[in-house]
Amino acid sequence: MRVALDTNVLVHAEGVNGSEKRDTALDLVRRLPQAAVVLPVQVLGELFSVLVRKAGRSKPEAREALLGWRDTFPVAATSPEVMLAAADLATDHGLAIWDALILSVASHAGCRLLLSEDLHDGFTWGGVTVANPFQSRRHPLLDAVLVQGNE
């Protein structure tokens, strides 16, 4: 099962919001099967922005973090068709365009799961289900991929 990561998972893994969320995010990322994970390119852009703006990192430091994630997981690009689908998703479901773009990229990349703290847990669109990995009760699809990754 393919899994896309939203920006907040990487932001937490980078320690921006404290050690507890960092530890949870890092444990999650380590337990996911590496070959199953996809990073929408939008996520890398948002990560760079958060690291510079909120975390106070220099641009070279933020770039290094971005490259580290890119080297760890494949990155899925945004095409004109994906952008149009995102605009439809934002229009039809009231999502912010950038969240809709991440979900649209995940769908076009063949993901069944998008791990996100920002979108509604359980929301499904284009074959992708959103799961909040920071809730105490994990979504069954996330449990399934974590079990699959440990086999």
Give the largest Cα separation in the chain, rounded: 41
What is the value of pTM for the model shown? 0.93
Would you say 101 and 40 are in contact if contact means Cβ atoms under 8 Å apart? yes
Residue pLDDT, tens place only, 26-59: 999 999 998 999 999 999 999 999 999 999 999 9
Domain boundaries, the chain: 3-149
In the sheet with 75-76, reading across from the earlier edge strand, the strands are 75-76, 37-40, 3-5, 113-115, 128-131, 124-125
Domain 3-149, CATH: 3.40.50.1010
In the chain, what percentage of residues exceed pLDDT 90? 87
pLDDT at 39: 98
Contacts of 7 (CB under 8 A, 6+ apart): 42, 43, 46, 47, 50, 102, 118
